Structure 1
Amino acid sequence: MPEQVYRGTVLAGENFEPIQAAVIVENGIITGIEEETAVPPVWISPAFFNAHTHLGDTVAMDCASNGGDLAALVTPPNGLKHRILAATPVEQLIAGMKASIRTMRESGTAGFADFREGGIEGVRALQEALEDEPCLPIIFGREGGEREAHGIGISSVRDVTDAEEQVRRARASGKLVAFHAGEKDPDDIDGALAYDPDLLVHCTHATRDQLRRIADAGIAIAVCVRSNWILGVTRGAEHPPLQTMADLGCTVYLGTDNVMFVQPDMLREMCFCDAVSPLPPEWILRAAVGGASLGGGRSFDIQIGNPAHFVLIDARRSALQYSTNPIASIVRRVGGKEILETVICRDCE
């Protein structure tokens, strides 16, 4: 593959330092970042990683547009979404997931972590949806699907009776372990922590003591702020307690959760998170990028030696060209029309 050069204002390194530069890519790897005095009004940001999705729910999009009782909608095995998934032909399920994967890529997302229902067949359906799509997945299977996935995605410890055995099998196979926990109250967080998971999803109502334990254990948290609001499990900046998570040094990633309720668009997720939390844009952008590390320490940061996973944003397509702070504007203002390209090196992984 010939050398490729991308010029613009680059959010470089772990700190997203804005520099005018040319990013040089050879065989999908960043081999140079060379500062230049004049570059086009294009922002080059690390691509986003959606740390929690349920892409199968694409076929149930807005079937409960006014929200509703959380348990009735999403609790396995007989929640509304599970009944819809069971009744959907596999070809339609695959087509829906493929459409949502394309939506993510077109809005700057290069990878995602999905809880995939339907056992091995469900995991295989997502794998088929990913064919010819460069997005980088981490698949958490269920109901036996974890055997062909990267890990196991367990619903609340309230919902399963054999969590210990499921975790034991997953660990024996070297798989990742993720739990939903703390979405509607804190009562299932301690139970999930007992299994030392790699990822907790939500922690919307986690207490300070629980978050301290999570931080000390180095367990990542995927927060889904828009979904929490839509489902009525929060109505304020205290839930999820993002500021406390930040203060205690928790590793926090952003996810969009069920496509049934929320478009898998990380630009919208960042904007909403910024609107309802007191955290700075730099923290929010890090949370939108950092989930890539769930895949064995992978990094989307723009630095020499890393695979090329970044998004090109054309500031000329709107008033963004007058921004004095590209990081804040990416978090608060960028929409799909400004996305020029999402560069993803699938062969580098």
Structure 2
Amino acid sequence: MQQFEGTVVSGSSFEPVEGRVVVEDGRITAVERASVDATDIVVPAFVNAHTHLGDSVAKEAAVDLGLEAAVAPPDSLKHRRLAAADRDTLVTEMRRTLQFMAQTGTAACLDFRESGPTGARALRAAADETPVTPFVLGSGPTSVLDVADGYGASGANDDDFETERAAARDAGVPFAIHAGEPDATDIHPALDLDPDLLVHMVHADEDHLERVADQDVPVAVCPRANQVLSVGRPPIRDLLDHTTVALGTDNVMLNPPSMFREMAVTAKAFDVTAREVLRMATAAGAEAVGLNCGVVEPGRDAALLVLDGESDNLAGTADPIRAVVRRATPLDVKRVVLR
């Protein structure tokens, strides 16, 4: 049995309470309110709702390139770098990125993995020696679903993806798709596929938002990547008013997969509360694909992030949730509890 004491951000309401979290056999068995001496802040470990870990072979290679030239399939710089990388290099670099994610408090990520079954297997191999769980959203032929956890489509303007959507439905796994990143033209076609997750939705308007609400489709947003690629700003407040919104870091080639950085940018640049942002960085991504983490409550997997409330950066904080979202950095991490 393990116990983690301090200010615990507890339950689906993300209420900060003084007390302890009790963990046994990898599960949270109790969250107890109690008077404790510890000044740590205990929150759910992060769930990064959108990554492209294959880009680990091309960090900072796409300087000043736009969306099409940087990452669009099939001939962008990213895809040329992926094609040129041998498997050992790809696995090694993805593993290093997963290790960085573990060190900075991420328990799981929803990864759009290129290169079909071969790409999905490479990510499985990269994850074998790390405590981070990648939820693999594979691409390419439908046979990728024999290896992956779901299907990740590039966008409805690239293909109709009806066959892939049907295969995912038959397999009982999530179908996720990029939509509304460069413009709005692929949003309605993406929604016609009845997806389980939409990614980006930068150019969503009221008609799109109403459909998202009617179809109850969660959305993953990636503000830093959108900024780097100059595609615009996602309407996060409007999205939150219509559906569940999760936070992702997108391409490793563009930004480090730091949820601390993504939360701080989101909290300071958009009309959102700190509690909403923390939920976007944890529970929302987990809920989108059915992971049993992202919330500190009994029965959940013990995926926890313990921050030092007395670090030089966090000491004297008036609001622990705002401190985690807007101020905390990897230097404040005291312990990461993962599998």
Q: TM-score per shorter chain, which class?
A: over 0.9
Is 2:35 the partner of 1:37? yes
Which of 242, 261, 269 in structure 1 is aligned with 2:262? Answer: 269
Q: Give the whole-Å Cα distance in 1 for the aligned partners of 2:102 and 2:6.
A: 20
Q: Give the whole-Å Cα distance in 2 for the aligned partners of 1:62 and 1:97.
A: 15
Which residue number in structure 2 is paired with residue 157 of structure 1? 156
Asked if the contact 1:119–1:146 (Cα under 8 Å) also holds between the matched residues in 2, the reply is no
Which residue number in structure 2 is paired with residue 342 of structure 1? 336
Which residue number in structure 2 is paired with residue 280 of structure 1? 273
Which residue number in structure 2 is paired with residue 116 of structure 1? 113
Q: Give the whole-Å Cα distance in 2 for the aligned partners of 1:112 and 1:201.
A: 14
1:297, distance to aligned residue in structure 2 (A)? 5.3
Which of 208, 211, 225 in structure 2 is aligned with 1:210? Answer: 208
Asked if the contact 1:313–1:341 (Cα under 8 Å) also holds between the matched residues in 2, the reply is yes
1:280, distance to aligned residue in structure 2 (A)? 0.7
Letter of the 1:306 partner, please give it. Answer: R
- Structure-1-length-normalised TM-score: 0.93
Q: Give the whole-Å Cα distance in 2 for the aligned partners of 1:14 and 1:293.
A: 11
Which of 243, 247, 259 in structure 2 is aligned with 1:254? Answer: 247
Q: Give the whole-Å Cα distance in 2 for the aligned partners of 1:25 and 1:122.
A: 35
Letter of the 1:219 partner, please give it. Answer: V
Q: Give the whole-Å Cα distance in 1 for the aligned partners of 2:10 and 2:37.
A: 15
Letter of the 2:90 partner, please give it. Answer: L
Q: Give the whole-Å Cα distance in 2 for the aligned partners of 1:102 and 1:332.
A: 23
SS of equivalent to 2:278: helix
Which residue number in structure 2 is paired with residue 138 of structure 1? 135
Which residue number in structure 2 is paired with residue 61 of structure 1? 59
CA deviation vs aligned residue, 1:37-93 (integer Å, no higher than 9, x gap): 233111000111000000010111001122x22112211111110110000011111
Is 2:285 the partner of 1:310? no
Which of 322, 331, 334 in structure 1 is aligned with 2:325? Answer: 331
- Structure 2 stretches lacking a partner, 5+ long: none
When the two structures are aligned, how many residues end up with a matched partner? 336
Asked if the contact 1:141–1:147 (Cα under 8 Å) also holds between the matched residues in 2, the reply is no
Q: Give the whole-Å Cα distance in 2 for the aligned partners of 1:12 and 1:117.
A: 36
Letter of the 2:95 partner, please give it. Answer: K
SS of equivalent to 1:328: helix
1:294, distance to aligned residue in structure 2 (A)? 2.7
Change (3 A) 1:158 1:300: same
Q: Give the whole-Å Cα distance in 2 for the aligned partners of 1:296 and 1:271.
A: 26
1:196, distance to aligned residue in structure 2 (A)? 0.2
SS of equivalent to 2:314: helix
Q: Give the whole-Å Cα distance in 2 for the aligned partners of 1:181 and 1:107.
A: 28
Letter of the 2:60 partner, please give it. Answer: D
Asked if the contact 1:21–1:39 (Cα under 8 Å) also holds between the matched residues in 2, the reply is no
Q: CA RMSD in A?
A: 1.2
SS of equivalent to 2:324: helix
SS of equivalent to 1:101: helix
1:35, distance to aligned residue in structure 2 (A)? 2.1
Which residue number in structure 2 is paired with residue 82 of structure 1? 79
| Stretch deviating more after TM superposition (33-42 or 332-341) | 33-42
Is 2:315 the partner of 1:321? yes
Identity %: 40
Runs of 4+ in 1 over 4 A off after TM superposition: none
Q: Give the whole-Å Cα distance in 1 for the aligned partners of 2:200 and 2:322.
A: 24
Letter of the 1:269 partner, please give it. Answer: E
Which residue number in structure 2 is paired with residue 168 of structure 1? 166
Asked if the contact 1:41–1:321 (Cα under 8 Å) also holds between the matched residues in 2, the reply is no
Q: Give the whole-Å Cα distance in 2 for the aligned partners of 1:61 and 1:264.
A: 11
Asked if the contact 2:313–2:328 (Cα under 8 Å) also holds between the matched residues in 1, the reply is no
Written as runs of structure 1 = structure 2, the 5 A alignment for 1:170-249 is 170-234=168-232, 239-248=233-242
- Structure 1 stretches lacking a partner, 5+ long: none
Which of 86, 93, 96 in structure 2 is aligned with 1:96? Answer: 93
